[in-house]
Chain A
């Protein structure tokens, strides 16, 4: 048992490190890469506030996707919103005492889990049923969908069919904060669930999941439309001016 517990402890340290370091590296890289020209897709807001609003509509409502394809929007939004609820519900494992809003969200987290799986199923079905989407799908797209669905299903199974000791799980994760490794219940379903989650964390910075930070750095969406009023010149382009 001790071996499994240690293995998982190590796995989560490693996964958390890869996730944080990998994302930080990418975010720094995006932030440091200059955007030499103003290229917002217009009509674009002419003020910083407008840009924040535009971005919020993209993040919360998936505005552009809504205009683009209703089915993908429905499934995509279901999945992401479900994922949000599930994540909030899981916060109870990581904080003590559990904040009141997180307590409130608990039952919704379950619906979130269901919505998430339905959304994923819909998205996956499109990859087989729509010839255009099939054409652009690569193996990794299938694998990521499979991974997410497996995470969702193992989670829901633990909730509805094979219950596990949530108190011990919480101890395990709380213990990780202070390098005080607590025993993890040796439940196969739980172990599988956790393993897949760790895997997801590890591939995050190396896969298309980078769309999450990427969205905020997309010049077509995050730039203010004011090029006539302001000169917008990147450091490397400034060098051309001197020559």
Chain B
């Protein structure tokens, strides 16, 4: 199908641990950021003169600011438990993609400049000067980590390589060595409000189009409002939901759920992006600045609650950091957690019996579910640990008849990354993305063979984009990926409003049933 300039790995029944192939992915590195993308984020435009000294200073600063980094630099015993846990290692065999070896790229510099043993006996403890060669390795391999935290699950000390690659990226940004994809996107959010650079009027158009589509489909006027002051709920969702397949089907689903719940809700053109790429580059400042937009929008629109749409790392930032970065949220309704995940919202309605679901609408599919890393290993849903695994599955079971999980070793907190997270969802890293997806695709292919699975549902915009792009390399079909709320959307039986003609089969005319009380024109 898709043309590849590299060898696409053969799928295997169980992902085997490859022998190490040093340097296999040394050539892989994302495009470097340019001055125009660096400066708005507060970083130098290009590699600074005294980069080495400044990088070491920055490292010292981060060691003092982040306990995680400090402890993780010291604590590793090289036990090897993490060596075969990274999907990028499993897919490429490059030993520097073993989490511990990736950490060591930073650890050797840390040892050299910050520890007695590394200052006295560098050779003995594997300490090295921060040379240009080392910097190049950093740029390559810290951009071959999707910050999925799978390695941290199996490390006896919980060493989280994601924390280390975030710190490394921040250090590199601080000396002017940025990654184009992430930094350009963050700049777009500052300027226009979302990752895709969609301006307000374009969003309004899209949402109006959606209302019409849903009306044509169902005969029910489901609203997709934006910038509606005084709405109860502010929905913040990844901008991919506004137009791309299969994302938009999820957005349609959220609207239907809100419709059935009978709550008023709105999107915001100012905070029209749930994603927060500040996390990927390890920048607290940028992450905070991005998160603050949501607070500003919530105040502006006078909402009572905040709900997040389907996006993995956005949910991590929202669940774990939003309160810290942009709180306090005392102006919102205290009866609800801030923020809530759309799955929590939908699940509650299902439990209360408020959704009328016709499972047979999804009978054309046999489903499996992909736990997205940032949801699975870095956040929660509901009140009990592990709710992030159970709630989405409960929704799937409530909306379709055929559901099978993939192999236990590849789901829940052992889930494999889609291969495109952590700011690596860019065409310049296609080889890495395809190879890194192998363990996930192996497991998917397995349930396809054994259980006849046809579709995989997921709740992360990056996963959806990544899979639709890489599955064809493995001979699978991009349409096999669905939004979780697409299943909800299909199954939900809508309650017609007073302005909807019930049981009317003539060609729906979007103009005539327009009412006076509430028009669908966005305010």
A170 within 8 A of B: no
**How many Å from the CB of B373 to the closest CB on chain A?**
11
In the complex, the answer to whether A33 meets B323 with C-beta atoms within 8 Å is no
**How many Å from the CB of A232 to the closest CB on chain B?**
5
B155 within 8 A of A: yes
Given A64-B158, A218-B157, is A231 in contact with B67 using a C-beta cutoff of 8 Å?
Answer: no
Query: Which 7 residue pairs of A and B lie closest in terms of their CB atoms, listed nearest first?
Result: A68-B154, A214-B75, A68-B81, A220-B158, A43-B385, A138-B126, A133-B80
B171 within 8 A of A: no
Query: A235's closest neighbor in chain B, by CB?
Result: B65
In the complex, the answer to whether B19 meets A206 with C-beta atoms within 8 Å is no
Interface residues of B in 27-73 (CB under 8 A from A): 63-68, 70-72
Of A132, A232, A240, the contact of B20 (CB 8 Å cutoff)? A132
In the complex, the answer to whether B66 meets A225 with C-beta atoms within 8 Å is no
Given A42-B377, A218-B75, is A140 in contact with B83 using a C-beta cutoff of 8 Å?
Answer: no
**How many Å from the CB of A28 to the closest CB on chain B?**
12
Interface residues of A in 81-140 (CB under 8 A from B): 126, 130-133, 135-140
Q: Mark B111-128, 1 if CB is under 8 A from A, else 0.
A: 000011100000111100
In the complex, the answer to whether B68 meets A220 with C-beta atoms within 8 Å is yes
Interface residues of B in 116-144 (CB under 8 A from A): 116-117, 123-126
In the complex, the answer to whether A132 meets B80 with C-beta atoms within 8 Å is yes
A195 within 8 A of B: no
Interface residues of A in 217-232 (CB under 8 A from B): 217-221, 225, 227-232
In the complex, the answer to whether B78 meets A41 with C-beta atoms within 8 Å is no
In the complex, the answer to whether B154 meets A67 with C-beta atoms within 8 Å is yes
**How many B residues face the partner with a CB closer than 8 A?**
73
Of A46, A143, A227, A236, the contact of B319 (CB 8 Å cutoff)? A227
In the complex, chain A residues whose CB is within 8 Å of the CB of B81: 64-65, 68-69, 72
Given A42-B385, A42-B388, is A225 in contact with B65 using a C-beta cutoff of 8 Å?
Answer: no
In the complex, chain A residues whose CB is within 8 Å of the CB of B72: 214, 218
Within the assembled complex, what's the spacing in Å between the Cα atoms of A231 and B322? Answer: 9
In the complex, chain A residues whose CB is within 8 Å of the CB of B77: 208, 211
Q: B residues bordering A, Cβ < 8 Å?
A: 17, 19-20, 22, 63-68, 70-72, 74-85, 95, 98, 100-101, 104, 115-117, 123-126, 149, 152-160, 163, 284-285, 288, 319-321, 323-324, 327-328, 337-339, 376-380, 383-386, 388-389, 413
In the complex, chain A residues whose CB is within 8 Å of the CB of B82: 68
A146 within 8 A of B: no
Given A34-B65, A58-B156, A210-B74, is A130 in contact with B80 using a C-beta cutoff of 8 Å?
Answer: yes
In the complex, the answer to whether B324 meets A233 with C-beta atoms within 8 Å is yes
In the complex, the answer to whether A214 meets B71 with C-beta atoms within 8 Å is yes
Excluding A67-B154, A133-B83, 4 further A-B contacts by CB distance (< 8 Å) are A35-B68, A41-B378, A139-B125, A218-B75
In the complex, chain B residues whose CB is within 8 Å of the CB of A141: 78
A62 within 8 A of B: yes
In the complex, chain B residues whose CB is within 8 Å of the CB of A143: 124
In the complex, chain B residues whose CB is within 8 Å of the CB of A231: 323-324, 327-328
Of A42, A50, A76, A135, the contact of B79 (CB 8 Å cutoff)? A76
Query: A64's closest neighbor in chain B, by CB?
Result: B156
Of A36, A62, A140, the contact of B65 (CB 8 Å cutoff)? A36
In the complex, the answer to whether B75 meets A210 with C-beta atoms within 8 Å is yes
Within the assembled complex, what's the spacing in Å between the Cα atoms of A26 and B75? Answer: 11
